[in-house]
Amino acid sequence: MSAVQELTYAAAAALALQQAMEADPNIVALGEDLGRGGVFGQYRGLPQQFGPERIIDTPISEANIMGAAVGMALAGLRPVVEMRVIDFALCAMDEIVNQAAKNRYMFGGQGRVPLVARMPIGIWSASAAQHSQSLEAWFAHLPGLVVAVPATPQDNFSLLKASLASGDPVIYMEHKELWGQTGPVDTTLDIPLGRANVMREGADLTIVTWSRGVAPALQALEHEALRGVSVEVIDLRTLWPWDQATVHASAAKTGRLLVVHEAVQVAGFGAEIAAHTAEATGCRVARLGSPRIPVGYAQVLENEARLSPEKIAHAAKTLLDRA
């Protein structure tokens, strides 16, 4: 079989988990709806192959699921914790913040919590405010956690494998509307956590984004507002650790940095990237995120919170036009 396959974002993750579980009997998965392959098909085929002892259907109690996973990890297993969507993970914040993130530090390295918590982020069409949040900045803020935000099927395969191999708790944030996206996946390609992907090279402006922001950022380059402008587009891939060297080198070259994310702009992780890069390089910076409003159910309201190529192009043009 060829090492390169055309896979959906969901199938790429399922394949990565399958291969890891075949190689390591200590990897288990637990959460709601796993027995039917997951809400988005991201566990399809795995219950049949590994059985209920390793693909574990749980009651509807996120605090219980996460607490059990932390205990499993401390006892030597490597659990994959399915939260269904990040909005539901808020019921498990104590176990994440005070147990998983802090255990290694508080016990001087004697305890390790090598779990992967899958928390799909982002706007989910017509699902309104309680099912459409992008809360990655919450977790990037917490010492002790790794935060991954894959944007493509290849990244969802390679970053999930890297996360499963990590000895630390990883908050793994797939986007709710990327599951059906297809693309080539090289199953031999290793992508380390903390390495960004330069999607397009340019000389006039740097755009840094991640997850669902990547596609509209690339589409924005075709907008008439950016005609004749050479734009570098960087997919960060992980928010912690984030690839400071790649971003700084690009911003130093172009002199301008626009950070784009679907999350609310106020106190979003884009502010950290912008401030850190401006301090390091002296570049001009701007941010584009969602307004500080709940995501509406009506499409006209939902669109106010969505990124679009037009919004990105106009934000980029505004930054370019600044004296």
Q: Catalytic site residues? A: 131
Angstrom distances, CA of residue 279 to CA of 195, 271, 308: 21, 12, 29
Largest CA distance in the chain: 62
Cα four-point dihedral sign 322, 281, 286, 199:
positive
284 φ/ψ angles, rounded to the nearest 5 degrees: -80, 140
- DSSP designation for 121: B
Token pair listed for 222: 């075709």
Q: How far apart are CA 74 and CA 59, in angstroms?
A: 22
The one-letter amino acid code at 179 reads W
Q: How far apart are CA 155 and CA 23, in angstroms?
A: 20
241: preceding bond cis by omega (within 30 degrees): yes
Give the β-pairing of 146-148 and 238-240: antiparallel
Q: How far apart are CA 307 and CA 122, in angstroms?
A: 11
Length of the chain: 323
Which residue shows structure tokens 């002199």? Answer: 255
Q: How far apart are CA 209 and CA 234, in angstroms?
A: 6
Give the β-pairing of 55-57 and 238-240: unpaired
282 φ/ψ angles, rounded to the nearest 5 degrees: 75, 10
Q: How far apart are CA 33 and CA 23, in angstroms?
A: 24
